[in-house]
Amino acid sequence: MQEDDFSEIIPSPNEIQICGDLFTTKTKMKNKKLLRSSDLLLVVGLISGLSGCATTSEYADERDPLQSVNRAVYEFNDALDEYALKPIAKGYQWVMPGFADRGVTNFFGNLDDVRVTINDLLQFKPGQAGEDGSRFLINTTLGIAGFMDVATGFGFEKHNEDFGQTLGVWGVPTGPYIVLPLFGPSSVRGAFGLAGDYAAAPVTYLVDWDAALALGAVALIDFRADNLSVTDLVDEAALDKYEFLRDGYFQHREYLIYDGNPPEDDDEFFEEEAFE
């Protein structure tokens, strides 16, 4: 399960990520079907083949039985992003020098490796757990508290594991699609996974709650600023952004749970796995 971000909070980091990875993942999935060697589709990508973008609400989706409620929550999240978070992220991007911006992103990515390592172990991946644990130790020490990503240069690739993926590996069904206030696209399984991710986040255990909230706010703003161009592309490419993000969410989660090698019959997986 490849990369991920420090997840959590407002205009749905999930939405932003789904758009960015979607294009990468889908492109690779097509290549795998041609070469019989690699299926793909990673988050928030965005042009998952214009056919994916040019969807409409003409047909109901059985994975989304709460669509009317979900769309209302989506509109709330989208407005909050448009009028609050996005302007703040643009200001942050404007005042932050490039090296400082990268340092902040690396810092939170390093903290995220703690969660990744825990979920490696829960998914019975001792080898990957060793790599991710080593990443954290190397970047925390040689990388000066994680502000520099030294470990990648040493050959320790960053992975993306979370408790929602762990539940999927354990066989817990996805359940209906839901859009969470502030957090964005998710599922019943994903919502429970957020609780596990919260418990695994180092900032959760800071005694000073003001400091914990401040760190969470900076992480969110930094993440949003790093993905401004991604969401701009989605706005332009998707006829129905709600459907685009929903479909991208399911494809992205499948990609992560299967470590980049999902079943070839993707449609069948989505229809049967969601409610089994």
Greater model confidence, 247 or 11: 247
Say which DSSP state 34 is in. H
Q: Is the pLDDT of residue 268 over 90?
A: no
Contacts of 88 (CB under 8 A, 6+ apart): 221, 224
Q: What is the mean pLDDT of residues 83-91?
A: 97
Confidence category of residue 262, pLDDT binned at 50, 70, 90: confident
- Is 11 in contact with 184 (CB distance < 8 Å)? yes
| Burial group, residue 11, by CB count within 10 angstroms (0-12, 13-18, 19+) | buried
Start-to-end C-alpha separation, the chain: 23
Please identify which residue in the block is written with the tokens 């019959």. Answer: 265
- Which one of 195-209, 226-240, 256-270 scores highest in mean pLDDT? 195-209
pLDDT band per the 50, 70, 90 thresholds, residue 147:
very high
Kindly state the DSSP code that residue 178 receives in the 8-state scheme.
E
Mean pLDDT of 184-197: 96
Per the CB < 8 A criterion, the answer to whether 181 and 76 are in contact is: yes
| Residue-level pLDDT at 48 | 38
| 8 A C-beta contact, residue 151 and residue 139 | yes
Contact 39, 28 (CB under 8 A): yes
Instruction: Collect all residues with Cβ–Cβ distance below 8 Å to 64 and sequence separation of at least 6.
Output: 70, 176, 177, 246
Q: How many residues does this entry show for the chain?
A: 276
- List, for residues 14-69, the tens digit of each pLDDT value: 555 555 555 444 444 444 333 333 333 333 333 333 334 444 445 578 999 999 99
What is residue 207's predicted lDDT score, i.e. its pLDDT? 77
% of the chain beyond a pLDDT of 90: 65
Model pLDDT, residue 19: 55
| Higher per-residue pLDDT: 32 or 189 | 189
With a cut of 90, say whether residue 166 has pLDDT above it.
Answer: yes
Count CB atoms within 10 A of the CB of residue 211.
11
Token pair 């960015």: residue? 20
Mean pLDDT of 149-155: 97
Helices (H) and strands (E) in the chain, counts: 13, 3
**DSSP-assigned letters across all residues of 90-136:** HHHHHHS-HHHHHHHHHHHHHHHHHHHHHHHHHTT-HHHHHHHHHHH
Distance (Å, whole) CA 223 – CA 233: 16
Is-contact 161 119, C-beta < 8 A?
Answer: yes
Residue 206 pLDDT: 85
Name which of 166, 221, 177, 147 is nearest 68 in CA terms. Answer: 177
Residue 1 pLDDT: 47
State residue 20's pLDDT score: 52
Q: What tokens were used for 200?
A: 């695994």
CB proximity list for 112: less than 8 A, separation 6 or greater: 4, 5, 6, 7
Give per-residue pLDDT as tens, 173-183.
Answer: 999 999 999 99
Per-residue pLDDT averaged across 228-234, rounded? 85
Q: What is the pLDDT of residue 44?
A: 37
Rounded mean pLDDT of the chain? 81
DSSP symbols for 52-80: HHS--SSS--TT-TTHHHHHHHHHHHHHH
Least confident of 6-10, 35-39, 86-90: 35-39
pLDDT of residue 223: 95
| Residue 214 reports pLDDT greater than 90 | yes
pLDDT band at 191 (very low <50, low <70, confident <90, very high): very high
DSSP state of 154: T
The reported pTM is 0.75
